[in-house]
Amino acid sequence: MKADRSYECLLCEIPKGSSAIIEEIRLPKLFGDYLMRIGIEPGTVIRVSRESPLGGPHIYHVRGAEIAIRIETARQILVRVTDFPGAEDA
């Protein structure tokens, strides 16, 4: 049986290529509602596609679309990392 290696962290902390499940959005209602309209809501799987240099927005793959999210916003989204790049099945 494979051990559960998932862990909680902020969206801005997960490495490129990793996937996570959104657990909580800690933003004011106006911003949270906007994110939900574009498919970013608790229970959704999100993957880091690309990272911008010098602290620019990162590109995330969500429900078949690529969405840029600023680091400041990603710091307010709690996720559970479930997939690690290069991880082998035990």
For the chain, the domains span: 7-83
pTM metric for this prediction: 0.83
The pLDDT value given to residue 19: 93
* Residue bearing tokens 């993957």: 47
Fold classification of 7-83 is SH3 type barrels. (2.30.30)
| Cβ atoms of 47 and 19 closer than 8 Å | yes
Looking at residue 54, its pLDDT comes to 77
* Sheet (strand 58-62) strand order: 7-10, 77-83, 19-25, 45-50, 58-62, 65-69
Q: Is 54 helix (H, G, I), strand (E, B) or coil?
A: helix
- Nearest CA among 3, 2, 63 for reference residue 35: 63
Confidence of residue 41 (pLDDT cuts 50, 70, 90): very high
